[in-house]
């Protein structure tokens, strides 16, 4: 089988040395050659000095999941040589820095070792330790450009775009690229059996990470108040939002801002700020990760009961506690779904990739105001921080935001009296007013017992009445939230249920199973509480796998509780190691189970 445009490589480096820019340079160059490509950054919770890896998958078929195997490793971090060399598939290649001798015990006879004296080359060519370290990475990018037949002119063009005005920097980067490129051409057979050839499959696409797409969604949805407390992996979401605001939200006449970003003292405060701003009628949001969600619990319950909007991004990382802050997981499902004490429930949207981060973020701001309740947008490190190949984002200028039932001065003039929690049309959603409105619009927002008139109460019947009405509101919401995406195959009796980022590897796995004659349907749930279609899908399949990235099969637990579908009739396929899933792992686990079941 041809290996053109179908392979993966990985670099193992030390973080803080500038390897990130070398990796994204290569990935972007391949993308510009029209070849589908994805990158997964596996990085430490540290600023400098710890091992970091970057995996790039080149897939002419457009598979964007984690690569099934690594064909080439660039081993530049002596402390991980052993594991990095071990991770190459048989018949693969290892590029290493031959400026220093390699421990012979690390050598493998089923892989080809390509030694390049990167350190020596850079020491001769450049002055200063900093430059030498940084440019060593660019030099290996040059070597890979030759080995993998990446278009050198594209690579150089990208350097020009990046360093355009900084002449000296551009010059040294050019030289570093050439050092590696020329060395590889002079000493090895280029290209390797697996390599790149131009295609035309990325024309309508972009490379974007999910945090950027969420930030753009918030910008386009008209969010004006962002309150946050920095936490990996959500930090870049607010920082990017700020950068976009500086570009698009500065009043041209006064030079003043049409946004306000509040860096709070903690996540309790950021949640409170979001609620205050939403109460006042602004579109407001926060972004955080697991530990922050834990701190926001009291306010989330408050917002559920007092019925306040607010968008809460949760870029999930590996828990519990501090956990593995830079590794991915989907383990906050239960903590989001029922956050806070008492009977509560929260709407959650589950984008599967950065494209959906954009559309579902825009939807989230409508949903939160329409249903007057917090909305989580739940992503994870894989979606949030990795560059994905997605279709260009689209915007329709005819879009009109849904601000929900808000009575302004004119509307208030039409009613005899205004009562905050009276359900006039049976959908469970009651009208609100915004502070500052005149006349009879005033009401009291409280987390203590209140009746439909908005008055304090300790009366059992009035309390239950209100709680039942909120339940009704959520039943309305279930039917209005983004529906699950279902892919069916002829004759399938097996179904997969999943959410979020495993979408890519699941789709690849299902293709592979189909090639083996096993037809599998897939339902990717996009919102909680679940739409009626979710239970229907479960009922329609003899065997149901629930694929998710947490130890305790939280999605399956939610499905059991919320749909009443028997827990043991769903096979959990869990992975909680902190890395994005691979199609191979899914196929293996499913096949093993199906075989066992048929014995």
Residues 183-222 touching other proteins, rule: CB under 8 A, are 206-208, 212, 216, 219-222
Q: How far is the CB of 281 from other proteins (least distance, A)?
A: 4
Residue from 59, 80, 173, 270 binding other proteins (CB under 8 A): 270
Residue spans of beta strands (DSSP E) within 76-131: 88-97, 112-116
Of residues 445-474, which lie at the interface with other proteins (CB under 8 A)? 445-448, 455-456
Q: 357-360 contacts: CB < 8 A, separation 24 or more?
A: 357/210, 357/211, 357/213, 357/214, 357/217, 357/383, 358/213, 358/214, 358/216, 358/217, 358/220, 358/393, 359/217, 360/217, 360/482, 360/526
Q: How far is the CB of 506 from other proteins (least distance, A)?
A: 25
Cβ atoms of 493 and 543 closer than 8 Å? yes
Q: Residue 100 or residue 444: which is nearer to other proteins going by CB?
A: 444
Q: Residue 111 or residue 238: which is nearer to other proteins going by CB?
A: 238
Q: How far is the CB of 435 from other proteins (least distance, A)?
A: 4
User: Cβ contacts of residue 383 below 8 Å, gap of 6+?
Assistant: 209, 210, 315, 351, 352, 353, 354, 357, 500, 501
d(CA 74, CA 141): 10
d(CA 576, CA 188): 40
Residue from 79, 257, 322, 493 binding other proteins (CB under 8 A): 257
By CB under 8 A, residue 442 contacts other proteins: yes
Q: Which helix (DSSP H) or strand (DSSP E) does residue 41 occupy?
A: strand 37-42
Residue from 298, 478, 511, 562 binding other proteins (CB under 8 A): 298
Residue from 224, 289, 379, 527 binding other proteins (CB under 8 A): 224
d(CA 443, CA 452): 11
Residue from 109, 110, 129, 265 binding other proteins (CB under 8 A): 265
The pair of three-digit structure tokens given for residue 478, joined into one six-digit string: 């279930």
Q: How far is the CB of 252 from other proteins (least distance, A)?
A: 11
Residue from 258, 471, 479, 567 binding other proteins (CB under 8 A): 258
Residue identified by tokens 């879009």 is 399
Q: How far is the CB of 118 from other proteins (least distance, A)?
A: 29
Of residues 383-402, which lie at the interface with other proteins (CB under 8 A)? 392-397, 399-401
Peptide bond into 191 cis (omega under 30): yes
d(CA 180, CA 96): 12
Q: How far is the CB of 157 from other proteins (least distance, A)?
A: 12
Residue from 435, 468, 471, 532 binding other proteins (CB under 8 A): 435
Q: Residue 440 or residue 472: which is nearer to other proteins going by CB?
A: 440
Report which DSSP code applies to 530.
P
Of residues 234-253, which lie at the interface with other proteins (CB under 8 A)? 248-249, 251
Residue from 302, 304, 350, 371 binding other proteins (CB under 8 A): 302
d(CA 32, CA 203): 8
By CB under 8 A, residue 157 contacts other proteins: no
The pair of three-digit structure tokens given for residue 479, joined into one six-digit string: 């039917």
Question: Between 321 and 350, how does the x/- string for binding to other proteins read (CB under 8 A)?
Answer: ------------------------------
Q: How far is the CB of 24 from other proteins (least distance, A)?
A: 12
Q: How far is the CB of 261 from other proteins (least distance, A)?
A: 8
Question: Between 27 and 46, how does the x/- string for binding to other proteins read (CB under 8 A)?
Answer: -x--xx--------------
Report which DSSP code applies to 519.
-
Residue 505 CA neighbour count, 13 Å, CB half:
26
Q: Residue 227 or residue 470: which is nearer to other proteins going by CB?
A: 227
User: Cβ contacts of residue 460 below 8 Å, gap of 6+?
Assistant: none
Residue from 49, 438, 532, 566 binding other proteins (CB under 8 A): 438
């Amino acid at each position: 089988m041809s290996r053109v445009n179908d392979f993966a490589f990985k670099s193992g480096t030390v973080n803080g040395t500038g390897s990130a820019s070398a990796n994204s340079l290569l990935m972007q160059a391949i993308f510009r050659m029209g070849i589908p490509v994805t990158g997964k950054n596996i990085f430490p919770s540290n600023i400098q000095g710890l091992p970091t890896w970057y995996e790039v998958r080149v897939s002419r078929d457009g598979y964007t999941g984690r690569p099934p195997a690594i064909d080439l490793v660039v081993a530049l971090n002596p402390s991980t040589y052993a594991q990095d060399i071990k991770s190459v598939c048989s018949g693969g290649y290892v590029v290493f820095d031959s400026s220093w001798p390699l421990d012979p015990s690390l050598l493998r006879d089923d892989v080809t070792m390509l030694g390049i004296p990167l350190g020596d080359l850079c020491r001769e060519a450049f002055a200063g330790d900093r430059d030498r370290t940084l440019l060593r990475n660019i030099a290996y990018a040059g070597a890979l450009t030759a080995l993998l037949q990446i278009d050198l002119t594209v690579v150089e063009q990208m350097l020009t775009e990046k360093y355009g005005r900084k002449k000296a920097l551009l010059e040294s980067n050019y030289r570093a690229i050439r050092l590696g490129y020329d060395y590889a051409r002079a000493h090895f057979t280029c290209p390797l059996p697996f390599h790149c050839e131009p295609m035309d499959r990325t024309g309508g696409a972009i490379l974007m990470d999910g945090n950027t797409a969420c930030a753009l969604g918030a910008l386009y949805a008209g969010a004006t108040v962002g309150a946050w407390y920095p936490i990996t992996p959500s930090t870049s979401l607010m920082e990017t939002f700020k950068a976009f605001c500086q570009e698009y939200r500065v009043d041209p006449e006064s030079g003043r801002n049409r946004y306000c970003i509040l860096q709070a003292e903690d996540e309790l405060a950021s949640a409170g700020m979001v609620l205050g701003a939403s109460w006042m009628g602004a579109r407001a949001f926060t972004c955080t990760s697991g530990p922050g969600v834990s701190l926001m619990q009291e306010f989330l319950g408050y917002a559920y009961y007092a019925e306040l909007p607010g968008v809460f991004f949760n870029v999930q990382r590996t828990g519990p506690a501090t956990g593995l802050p830079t590794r991915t997981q989907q383990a906050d499902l239960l903590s989001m779904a029922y956050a806070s004490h008492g009977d509560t429930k929260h709407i959650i949207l589950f984008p599967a990739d950065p494209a959906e981060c954009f559309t579902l973020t825009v939807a989230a701001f409508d949903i939160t105001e329409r249903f007057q309740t917090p909305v989580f947008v739940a992503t994870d490190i894989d979606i949030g921080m990795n560059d994905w190949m997605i279709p260009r984002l689209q915007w329709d200028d005819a879009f009109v935001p849904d601000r929900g039932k808000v009575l302004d001065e004119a509307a208030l003039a039409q009613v005899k009296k205004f009562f905050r929690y009276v359900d006039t049309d049976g959908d469970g959603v009651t009208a609100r007013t915004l502070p500052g409105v005149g006349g009879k619009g005033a009401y009291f927002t409280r987390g203590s017992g209140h009746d439909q008139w908005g008055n304090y109460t300790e009366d059992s019947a009035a309390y239950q009445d209100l709680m039942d009405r909120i339940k009704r509101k959520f039943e309305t919401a279930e039917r209005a939230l983004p529906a699950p995406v279902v892919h069916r195959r002829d004759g399938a009796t097996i179904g997969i249920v999943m959410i979020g980022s495993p979408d890519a590897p699941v789709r690849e796995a299902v293709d592979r199973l189909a090639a083996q004659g096993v037809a599998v349907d897939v339902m990717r749930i996009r919102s909680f509480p679940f739409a009626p279609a979710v239970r229907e899908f479960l009922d329609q399949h003899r065997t149901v796998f629930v694929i998710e990235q947490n130890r305790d099969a939280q999605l399956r637990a939610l499905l059991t509780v919320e749909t009443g579908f028997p827990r043991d009739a769903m096979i959990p396929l869990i992975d909680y190691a902190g890395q994005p899933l691979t199609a191979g792992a899914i196929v293996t686990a499913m096949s093993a189970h199906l075989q066992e079941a048929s014995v």
